[in-house]
Structure 1
Amino acid sequence: MKFSKLVPLGLTAAIAVSLASCGKTDTAPAATADAKPAFDQSQIKTALISLNNADLDTAIAACTDLNGFVNSKWLKANPVPNDQTTWGSFEILRERSLEVQHALVQQAAASQAKAGTVEAKIGDIWKTGSDEAKIEAAGITPLQPQLDKIAALNDTAAITQYLRDSQAVGQGVLFSLFANADYKDSANVIAYVGQGGLGLPEKGYYFDDSQAKIRDAYVAYIAQVLTLSGVDAEQAKTQAKAVMDFETRLAKASMSRIEMRDPAKRYNPVSAADADKLTPNFSWTALFDTLKVPAAQKFSMAQPGFFGEVDKMLADVPAATWQAYLRFHTIDDAAPYLSSAFEKANFDFYSTTLRGQKEMQPRWKRVLESVNGAIGEGLGQMYVDAVFPADSKVQMQHLVENLSVALKARLEKLEWMSEDTRKKALEKWASFTPKIGYPDKWRDWSGLETNGDSYLGNMQAARTFNYRYMLNKIGKPVDKTEWGMTPQTVNAYYNATKNEIVFPAAIL
């Protein structure tokens, strides 16, 4: 179902109006000599200066429907576009950022930049992604070598080796493996592994009666993808049911999203040797050797029950089912970079069926999303040079510094806070790090190799490069200069393990 976001523009003024009209009630407490109204008429008038009165729907009573009073006219005038699932101020600002990015990638593609430069790599991804005729002619051919490897998996040993090898290039399907700050030692980075392997958003989709139609649509989608890849239609239906049963078993062993909200359930430090005892059919020692990361002494296996079930499946699920499962997810993962039949099937299920999006976004936006996923900070450097000068960053830094000073003054004077708590609060305040606009140190992209031949090949190369970049953090101190968002992203975030708040250029 699509929905429009509440637009907070003018909310303060609307509240002022509603307070003025709703403040006098029979149940209101008696006024005292020292009492002051929340708003007097001059304050209301000042608040309304920033709001066009025509935007308010005066036919709706603010006292009973404040949202309608403030937003209904805007919502009627701004329906959700067919290629979006939400629409509001963030999306409008995002469109503005995308237009700038679009111009920059076109410029990079036309620049004949020297091979190996960031501009050349951006240009390669943009050009190969924009060459629809070449992508259409290639069909599934770019993925065939990987599918041939899957077709040759005939026993547990071969399957586990494939899982290790695919994880090493960032194409792991069955579980996630990533680097993050140690929850109990936030200055250092360790490896985390977590549940995965599901094609539906989370475990509830596999069991809730309300999701039965979604499950049926998912099985049909699996069969469609397998058929498009060359599997006989009847066999594809049989394999699709087997894949669904496989994933349902994984889902049963998985934690729900609600359970995962508990940090303690996302942290379970173990050694590789101890983990190997839990999963005798899957060696974590061998995996970390393949990945070449120093995680054998300590890593977090957050959901041991899930991995225990995976280990059983390695022993008792037929190789043919593993082949069907891995084949489907490999094609599904690559679908946005393959011919239109695969891309459209992927969109129809994940975007339309699951999210209510009526139309696919134009090609340039889809390819631009790929550029951002592959080399986003590289494009961000170009974005900043174009639209966010250094003095803008300085101005925002001053604003945040002023807020920080005010916060400290407030902490020092809060009457309800004990001295021990105040001490801790001020320690946290002193370690707080704001990041404004863009990184002070840009990432090096010299190890990423792209070409002008294959869209899928470029995206796979970027995935491997970025995954290796992430793995290389394991066993090292946390880099507090690193950003988790690109400058062209219209969003912001707080990172608790680093005690930092980050405001990218595009939202400023």
Structure 2
Amino acid sequence: MSQGAVTTNALYAFQADLPLDQSFFEDAAKWATIEASYREYISSLLTLAGQSATDAKAVEDVIITFQKKFANVLLTKVELMEAEVTKYNPLTYADAAKKYPLTVGLQLQAHGFNVCKGCSADKVVLYDLEFFDRAQVLLKANPMATLKTLVEFILLHVNSPQLSADFVMANRKLFEKKIKGVITQPSRERQADWFVTVVEESFKTVLSTANWLDNWTRANGLMKLSQLEAMTTFYDYFLAKANYQPVDKTLWGMLPQTVNAYERYTPRENKMRRRTLELSPQL
């Protein structure tokens, strides 16, 4: 939703993330604890994608050197909070592509948006202009071969949890076992089935034991619960196609009346969101 026109959808662009927390690339002591595992992760993804072990090993330094420089490009937590004051910076596709050709421009073109001057009045809203200025300088200073290597690795990294079992294992070995300390990892199918079972059993227990329910309501609730069909995946819509189209107010990620201990903290906005239902007297 556009902050400048709340009745229409808008396309936003903002600071990207690194595969590891920014602090790993900035703190030498912290980097030393992860370097060997991260190098192994880089080589694993690239070899699984078809590169030779020698070629994959050769570009480890290229990727790591760039990412350490990129960590210095990212806005700090303080800068992100300061950027909230001037975070609404709409530019037409053409103007954004001209000002930031190696970041916003390439992304717009890759997703099928027309960046020709005068071809479209639609706009992309940029957060953190300081970040885009810094990123443009960094990208321009690197050869195309380096950028291609980075793009290949990032694409593999982002999609590795959804690719073949070997990619999933490489991702889990670094992020689950090394960083989070997870010893064993269940299969995705078992994990999803377990989660659904736990939720269903929890609902059933609450309905069966709640002393404030009358018998008719309890029986009706249990009957409806038995008819629920669990869905552990959902369709992925390309939301950017809704850019500057009217907002469909019937589409909610979570309904206001949903009873859930839901809260969300957004570091970049230094803001915590809670649903209004949680503030009502009965809760």
TM-score above 0.5: yes
Q: 1:299 to 1:333 in 2, by over 3 A?
A: closer
1:321 corresponds to 2:146 = yes
Q: Are the counterparts in 2 of residues 225 and 342 from structure 1 also a CA contact under 8 Å? A: yes
- Identical pairs, percent: 24
Q: Which residue of the partner structure matches residue 66 of structure 2?
A: 246
Aligned residues: 238
Q: 1:206 to 1:502 in 2, by over 3 A?
A: farther
Matches within 5 A, 1:45-84: none
Q: Which residue of the partner structure matches residue 191 of structure 1?
A: 11
How far off is 1:189 after superposition? 2.5
1:348 corresponds to 2:178 = no
Q: Decide which of 118, 122, 127 is 1:302's aligned counterpart.
A: 127
Deviations 1:250-301 (A, max 9, x none): 2221113453345325433333343234224567499268147998543321
Q: Decide which of 279, 285, 290 is 2:112's aligned counterpart.
A: 290
Q: Decide which of 22, 30, 36 is 1:211's aligned counterpart.
A: 30
Matches within 5 A, 1:356-505: 356-366=181-191, 466-468=236-238, 470-485=239-254, 491-493=261-263, 501=276
Q: Distance in 2 between matches of 1:199 and 1:299?
A: 25
Deviations 1:416-456 (A, max 9, x none): xxxxxxxxxxxxxxxxxxxxxxxxxxxxxxxxxxxxxxxxx
Q: Are the counterparts in 2 of residues 206 and 215 from structure 1 also a CA contact under 8 Å? A: no
Deviations 1:311-339 (A, max 9, x none): 34554423332232222222223323333
How far off is 1:478 after superposition? 3.4
Q: Which residue of the partner structure matches residue 448 of structure 1?
A: none
Q: Distance in 1 between matches of 2:107 and 2:56?
A: 33
Q: Are the counterparts in 2 of residues 197 and 247 from structure 1 also a CA contact under 8 Å? A: no
Q: Are the counterparts in 2 of residues 219 and 240 from structure 1 also a CA contact under 8 Å? A: yes
Cα RMSD (Å): 4.3
- Structure 1 length-normalised TM: 0.39
Q: Distance in 2 between matches of 1:272 and 1:501?
A: 37
How far off is 1:367 after superposition? 5.3
Q: What letter is aligned with 1:278?
A: K
Q: Are the counterparts in 2 of residues 206 and 251 from structure 1 also a CA contact under 8 Å? A: yes
Q: Which residue of the partner structure matches residue 100 of structure 2?
A: 279
Larger Rg: 1
Q: Which residue of the partner structure matches residue 20 of structure 2?
A: 200
Q: Distance in 2 between matches of 1:327 and 1:281?
A: 16
1:225 corresponds to 2:50 = no
How far off is 1:368 after superposition? 5.6
Q: What letter is aligned with 1:329?
A: I
Q: Are the counterparts in 2 of residues 271 and 297 from structure 1 also a CA contact under 8 Å? A: yes
Q: What letter is aligned with 1:492?
A: Y
Deviations 1:223-266 (A, max 9, x none): 22223333222321221211112222222211134533453254
Q: Are the counterparts in 2 of residues 195 and 303 from structure 1 also a CA contact under 8 Å? A: yes
- Secondary structure, counterpart of 2:8 in structure 1: strand
Q: Which residue of the partner structure matches residue 398 of structure 1?
A: none
Matches within 5 A, 1:162-201: 181-201=1-21
Q: Decide which of 233, 243, 260 is 2:80's aligned counterpart.
A: 260
Q: Which residue of the partner structure matches residue 424 of structure 1?
A: none
Q: 1:193 to 1:354 in 2, by over 3 A?
A: same
Q: Distance in 1 between matches of 2:10 and 2:160?
A: 32
Q: Distance in 2 between matches of 1:228 and 1:285?
A: 27
Structure 2 unaligned spans of 5+: 208-212, 214-232, 266-270
Q: Distance in 1 between matches of 2:3 and 2:28?
A: 37
How far off is 1:302 after superposition? 0.9
Structure 1 unaligned spans of 5+: 1-180, 373-378, 390-394, 396-458
Q: 1:466 to 1:363 in 2, by over 3 A?
A: closer
Q: Distance in 2 between matches of 1:489 and 1:335?
A: 34
- Structure 2 length-normalised TM: 0.65
Q: 1:234 to 1:488 in 2, by over 3 A?
A: farther
Q: Distance in 2 between matches of 1:258 and 1:215?
A: 27
How far off is 1:489 after superposition? 10
How far off is 1:366 after superposition? 4.3
